[in-house]
Chains A and B, each alone.
Chain A
Amino acid sequence: MMALSKKMLEQEPSEIETLLPWHAAGTLNARDARRVEEALARDPELARQYAVIREEYAETIALNESLGAPSARAMQKLFAAIDAEPARKADASLYLPSRFTGFFASLSPRTLACRRALAHWRCCCRPQRSAWS
């Protein structure tokens, strides 16, 4: 029984081991990142596992990037649904909480440029959506 428990414990990953994927993604806090770096420097087995994780990380990104983007249909459907929302809700949305409007205010110029492009796209599509409804 004790041998079984010991074996089970041996199969459990160490805490540092479980943090490796976040280290690869660069999302650990400074303290944990330092702990992982120190462990990697002294443990070749852990370093090998980390190399495998780096490969998984790169391939997961590549796989997701290969999925492409949704068609314009999704956006048309969304804004048609928003247009169909009761006016009361649309008016209320003008008074979004400051934390949310703060988020909008913090957007980069690149995102704002995207907004202009989307607004233009939506403007062009309006007659088409009206024709559907």
Chain B
Amino acid sequence: MQVLYGRHHVRVFRFGLRLVRDEQIAEDLISEVFLDVWRQAGKFEGRSAVSTWLLAITRFKALSALRRRKDVELEDDAANAIEDTSDDPEVTVQKKDTSTALRKCLSVLTAEHREIVDLVYYHEKSVEEVAEIVGIPENTVKTRLFYARKKLAELLKAAGVERGWP
């Protein structure tokens, strides 16, 4: 368990934190995830990578935590906030810094879009693995990421950053 924890806990923490956006809850999540693994090691069938299994458990627990907090409704408000502040001096400064603006926009995507972006780019999961973690068909995985990227482009455009796509 120590080996497994040492190898995966940071990525599990970051995946959970990006979903729940609360460090305390994300730390509680990793304890719960690895305790589940400890209890259910016998159920691991080895058909997928251990990291895929861990991320699927983390996602399930993060969504449960979010439902408990009833914060999901706030997602759209957060996304709208960046559009509403496009003329704010702070945002004007960010226009000069695409990198900063991009990271800010990545942070205000909906949980559904954040998780797919993170799973593909940061956790380097294949189409098949994302489908397994999120529990959706492979074609939906592909189109969901496409529309997450389109939303990201809209947010960036609202913040004054044009990147030539779409």
Contacts and interface: CB of A to CB of B under 8 A. Distances in A.
B67 interface: no
Given A52-B164, A63-B107, A70-B10, A85 B39 contact: yes
Interface residues of A, number: 57
Given A67-B18, A75-B5, A81-B35, 13 more contacts: A18-B146, A52-B163, A63-B107, A66-B103, A67-B17, A70-B10, A70-B30, A78-B31, A93-B1, A97-B42, A104-B3, A104-B4, A118-B6
B27 A61 contact: no
B31 A77 contact: yes
A89 interface: yes
B145 to A, nearest CB: 6
26 contacts: A13-B146, A19-B142, A21-B145, A22-B120, A27-B126, A52-B165, A53-B149, A56-B102, A60-B106, A63-B103, A63-B107, A64-B14, A64-B18, A64-B118, A67-B13, A67-B18, A70-B9, A70-B26, A71-B27, A78-B31, A78-B34, A85-B38, A104-B4, A114-B3, A115-B2, A117-B6
- Tell me the interface secondary structure of chain B in the complex: helix
Interface of B: 1-7, 9-10, 13-14, 17-18, 23, 26-28, 30-31, 34-35, 38-39, 41-42, 44-46, 50, 98-99, 102-103, 106-107, 117-118, 120-122, 124-127, 142-143, 145-146, 149, 152-153, 163-166
